[in-house]
Amino acid sequence: MENVRKSFGDNQVLAGIDLQFQRGETTAIVGPNGAGKSTLIKCLLGLVRPDHGRLLIGGLNAQHNAAARRLVGYMPQHAEFPGGMTGRDMIRLVEELRQEDRAPDLSLVRTLGLGADLEQPFRTLSGGTRQKVSAVLASMFAPHVYVLDEPTAGLDPVAGAALKDHMAAERERGATTLLTSHVMADLEELADRVVFLLDGRIRFDGTMNELRELTGRERLERAIATLLEGDAA
Amino acid sequence: MFMLLVIMWSLEAWSGQAAPPTGGPIADRIAAAAPHDTVRVEAGTWTEPTIVIDRPLTLLGEPGAHILGTGGYELLVIEADSVTVSGFTFSGVDRTFMEDRAAIRLQDAAACRVTDNTFRDVFFGIYMARAADCHIENNTLQAQITSETTGGNAIHAWYSKRLTVAGNQIDGFRDGIYLEFTDDSRVTGNTSTNNLRYGLHFMFADRNAYADNVFSDNRAGVAVMYADGITMQRNVFRRAWGASSYGLLLKEIRRGEVMDNTFDGNSVALLVESTDHMVFGGNTFAENGWGIKLMASAIGNVFSDNTFRGNTFDVSTNSRTLDSSFEGNFWDTYEGYDLDRDGRGDVAHRPVTLFSVLVERHEPVMYLHRSLLVDLLNVAERMLPVLTPTDLADPQPRMRPPL
Amino acid sequence: MMTTLVRFHIKNALRSRWLVAHFVLYLLITEGLLLASGASDKTLLSLINVVLLLVPLVGLVFGTIHQYNGREFTELLLTQPVRRSVLFGSLMAGVALPLVASFALGVFLPFAWHGGVTWYQGVRIGTLIGLGSVLTTTSVAAAFMVSTGQADRVRGIGTALGLWLIYAVLFDGAVLLMVTTLGQWPIEKALLGVMLLNPVDLSRLILLQVFDAAAMMGYTGAVFTRFFTSATGYLVAGAALVTWMVLPILAARHRFLRQDF
């Protein structure tokens, strides 16, 4: 993405963001609430239109472009589905919407232990189960790019671990992943690279190791705290 | 060309002038008759100048006897007492602005009878001037006038008294029955429809009674004006429809009775203006725009035991203070209750709504009919009357319509 | 794509409780009125009041709430390879069609099993259901406009209620004020034009013409009747109704296409 800016009213949320992600790279977007993380993600997904700049996914413009969205698998922070429908209905819907020639990869269904839950209407399912369905939907056509907003929130530890394993496998396959999470352990486990956002600007962009060197902190949350303090000073 | 002439000639011959069957023109036969003779007229089309009956006799048309005018004159003038005309068909009287040209005129005649005749395409049908004790019965009168100003009346009486107008079928005139300066008469069992002005029209006519008539689809229903002691019973007023249309219009009337009539589907069923000491009882007002429009000038009238059903407005008035009373009527809009089960509501009913008052003042407010705003305003006004007459109320409304 | 999504949304609606509740609401109202006064004009007139009041209210409030509740899911669908206009169409249809259908059935069925409906009354019931359907569509579209324009759901629902208040009451208040202050001028025709600006009033006037023509007398009534029984009147009223359906839909679509989620 190139010089992406976005304001809501007088409030500038993204003040010129330049980022490039490599194949097979997992990037954690971190920063305090209101730093612009969600807006950045939503720009990439085409949900929010930037005032300025451009975003390319696999060389395709991310705005107004169904082809670009075909490359993306997205797991929102809170997956909400129509209460009357089932996970199976959703899988069928996404199949029809994606119109891929290949059969969907539903291995996550077993890995996450969904099974019979797929036939239950969403209004009877827990938040964690819905999150599992969301993960299945995001991965069923092996996207080039994953956008995961708090992917493990609400998942039980076993499912969380299974999902992380799956993501690691996807990285091996060459998938690019963007990740936000408040669970620092997840980030440390999954991320190659950390982008730290504050007030709509990139304050840090580097590997985990670079971050550790810069701040002298071993643990990510400590390192981020140090960055924040440095900013305040 | 020759053919055409032959056709015209034969039409002329066929149309009747040349073919009075036997016995010569009707006028000659009347001239030859002695008083109280019966003159019979056989079937056929009779066209001759105005026939004047100047002596008491009975003129009897046999079935198919048709007196046809060429348009510019009256067909029959009765100038004697005790004349009976019966069984004819009359037609061919053109309209004119110069005179009230009628098929039959009764001039200063008494105790005459005009019965069982048919009138078609005439300007005025039966015209009575200074007639007395005459019977106009069971005639059929039809016209198709197209504008109020160019039409005549079917049965017209002027300065007459003690007439009986009964059982006639009237359709498509200006006024069906018109009585002016005519007293002590009875109008019963007639049907008067599709007239461009009134089905029945009284002007300056006292002590008359009309009952069991049907007035429907007249542009302006029935009008009774400037009259004293009128009795109106069991008539049906139906579909007087359109701008300023009334089922029954009462103006400058006093001491009369309007009992057991049915008002059905009129724009305004009953307009009461400058009318005093009338009794309105047992009438049914159903599906009208306005049931009763009561003007401020009406005083001392009593409305009791009437039924109001499905009217847009049951009662409206242009005044806040009224001197008429409502007692024991049935109102389908009544929202009260009857705890003591005596058949009468325990709280008074106020039939005049704020909306009807507003419409009375500013007609276009009508466009807000059946809107939530109007419902809210009506409820507010009912709780705290500001514009509606506080004394116009039925203190003991019926819970069920009177039988 | 469109049909897939519409089918999905309608299937969800059919499995939801709100649709059943909506259907039962109209069923009970109509059945109650029929039991109280039979298949009479009184029943139909009461139904008019219900339809003119309730239909826009339900359409606006329910449409708004539904949109807010479905917001996350809408976002999820937007990240799929679906064009926004297609998604908008399916969302709109997914709310409006079930609402229209359950309203129409809820009103129609009691008449069907009570029977005794004359042909003439049938026409009136048909008009009522038709106008109710138009009002449903219009108010759902308005609800979409509200929910796309306002991110905060409480304020959004407040706005929807406000809109309803304007169209159901305040607009008529302004008309009343106008008539009483300008009463000395001939404003009948202008007033008809003004009424076209409010779909609730327009529907009410059409129903008035069908049900209550007796009330329309005098000069006002003559203007009114002449308008609503003339070919021009039909065309203008029909065009205004269609505009009232299409315009809010287009406006909501316009907003939806430019919306940041």
What are the residue ranges spanned by the domains of chain C?
A: 2-258
A102: amino acid identity, one letter: R
What are chain A's domains? 23-49+68-232 (3.40.50.300)
How far is B67 from B53, CA to CA, in rounded Å?
14
Q: For residue C215, give how far its alpha carbon lies from the nearest alpha carbon of chain A (Å).
A: 48
From first to last of the 233 residues of chain A, give the pLDDT tens digit.
666 666 666 677 777 777 888 788 888 888 877 777 888 888 888 888 888 777 877 777 777 777 778 888 888 888 888 888 888 888 888 888 888 778 788 888 888 888 888 888 888 888 888 888 888 888 888 888 888 888 887 788 888 888 888 888 888 888 888 888 777 777 778 888 888 888 778 888 888 778 777 777 777 777 777 777 766 54
Neighboring chain B residues of C176 at a CB cutoff of 8 Å: 358, 365, 368, 373
Please tell me the predicted confidence (pLDDT) of residue B8: 46
C24 residue type, one letter: V
Delimiting residues of CATH 2.160.20.10 domain(s) in chain B: 17-217
Helix A87-98 and helix C2-14, axial crossing angle in degrees, nearest 10: 170
* Chain B residue at shortest CA distance from C183: B362
Q: Do B265 and C214 touch (CB under 8 A)?
A: yes
Average pLDDT value for chain B? 88
% of chain B beyond a pLDDT of 90: 58
Distance linking the first and last C-alpha atoms of chain A:
30
Candidate from A49, A74, A82 with C-beta closest to C73:
A82
Q: What mean pLDDT do residues C23-44 have?
A: 86
Q: Is C193 on the interface with B (CB under 8 A)?
A: no
The distance from CA C145 to its chain's CA centroid, rounded to whole angstroms, is: 15
Contact B245 C214 (CB under 8 A): no
Q: Of B320, B317, B324, B316, give the one whose Cα is nearest residue B300.
A: B324
- Interface residues from chain C to A (CB-CB < 8 Å): 1, 4-5, 8-9, 11-16, 69-73, 75-83, 258, 260-261
By Cβ distance, the residue of C48, C168, C175 closest to B370 is: C48
Given a cut of 80, whether residue B243 has pLDDT beyond it is: no
C202 touches chain B (CB under 8 A): no
Chain B residues near residue C42 by CB distance under 8 angstroms? 310, 332
B373 chain-C contacts, CB cut-off 8 A: 169, 172-173, 176
Question: How far from B77 is each of B42, B105, B165, CA to CA, in Å?
Answer: 20, 5, 19
Burial (0-12, 13-18, 19+ Cβ within 10 Å), A208? middle
Segment B75-80 shows an average pLDDT of 95
Distance from CA of A127 to the nearest CA of C (A): 13
- How many CA atoms are closer than 13 Å to the CA of A232, on its beta-carbon side? 7
Mean pLDDT within B33-50: 92
* Token pair listed for A19: 């980022």
Nearest CB to B289; choose among C172, C188, C214: C214
Q: Which residues of C touch A78 (CB under 8 A)?
A: 72
CA distance B270 to chain C (A): 14
Burial zone of C239 (CB within 10 Å; 0-12 exposed, 13-18 middle, 19+ buried): exposed
Q: pLDDT, tens digit, for every residue of B163-220?
A: 999 999 999 999 999 999 999 999 999 999 999 999 999 889 899 999 999 999 998 8
Q: Is the pLDDT of residue B3 over 60?
A: no
Single out the residue of B93, B33, B123 nearest to residue B41, CA to CA.
B33
The alpha-carbon gap from A138 to the nearest alpha carbon of chain C, in Å, equals 10
For residues B192 and B170, the answer to whether their CB atoms sit within 8 Å is yes
pLDDT tens figures, B258-309: 999 999 989 899 999 999 889 999 999 998 889 999 988 888 899 999 999 9
Contact between A42 and C33 under an 8 Å Cβ cutoff? The reply is no
CA–CA gap between residue B349 and residue B358 (Å, rounded): 19
All residues of chain A having their beta carbon less than 8 Å from the beta carbon of residue C8 are 82, 85, 89, 93
Provide the token pair at B348: 């008074």
In this structure, what DSSP letter does residue B53 have? Answer: E
Contact yes or no, A with B (3+ CB pairs under 8 Å): no
Using a CB–CB cutoff of 8 Å, tell me whether C50 touches chain B.
no
- Please calculate the CA angle B345-B349-B351 and round it to the nearest 5 degrees: 145
Q: Which residues of A touch C150 (CB under 8 A)?
A: none
Q: How far apart are CA C204 and CA B372, in angstroms?
A: 11
CB contact under 8 A, B375 and C192: no
Place of tokens 């069906």: B176
What pLDDT is attached to residue B396? 92
pLDDT band at B1; cut points 50, 70, 90? very low
Q: CB-CB: which of C42, C53, C224 is closest to B310?
A: C42
pLDDT at B69 over 90: yes
In this structure, CATH architecture of domain B17-217: 3 Solenoid (2.160)
Query: What pLDDT is recorded for position B10?
Result: 47
User: SS3 of B307, please?
Assistant: strand
Q: In what order do the strands lie in the sheet with A11-17?
A: A11-17, A2-8, A52-54
Chain B hits for C179, CB-CB cut-off 8 Å, are: 362, 364-365, 367
pLDDT of residue C149: 81
d(CA A226, CA B182): 114
- Report angle CA B275, B279, B280 to the nearest 5 degrees: 100
**pLDDT tens track for B143-158:** 988 777 778 999 999 9
Of the candidates C208, C172, C210, C215, the residue with the CA atom closest to the CA atom of residue C191 = C172
Instruction: Please indicate whether, in this complex, the C-beta atoms of C173 and B289 are within 8 angstroms of each other.
Output: no
Q: What is the pLDDT of residue A2?
A: 63
Q: Among A67, A69, A84, whose Cβ lies nearest the Cβ of C15?
A: A84
Angle, CA of C141, C58 and C238, to the nearest 5°: 50
Conformational region of residue A24, where left means phi above 0, alpha means psi within -120 to 50, and beta covers everything else: left
Confidence (pLDDT) at B369: 85
Q: Report the distance separating Cα B77 and Cα B93, nearest Å.
A: 13
**Segment holding B9, helix H or strand E:** helix B2-14
Give the pLDDT confidence score for residue B168 in this predicted structure. Answer: 97
Q: What is the pLDDT of residue B182?
A: 94
> What number is the ipTM of this complex?
0.84
Distance (Å, whole) CA C75 – CA C229 = 48
Q: How far is B52 from chain C (nearest CA, A)?
A: 47
Contacts of residue C34, defined as CB under 8 A and 6 or more positions apart, other chains included, come to C43, C110, C111, C114
Q: Are B187 and B210 in contact (CB under 8 A)?
A: yes
Closest CA to A84 of A120, A115, A118: A120
- Look at residue C213 and tell me whether its pLDDT is greater than 70: no
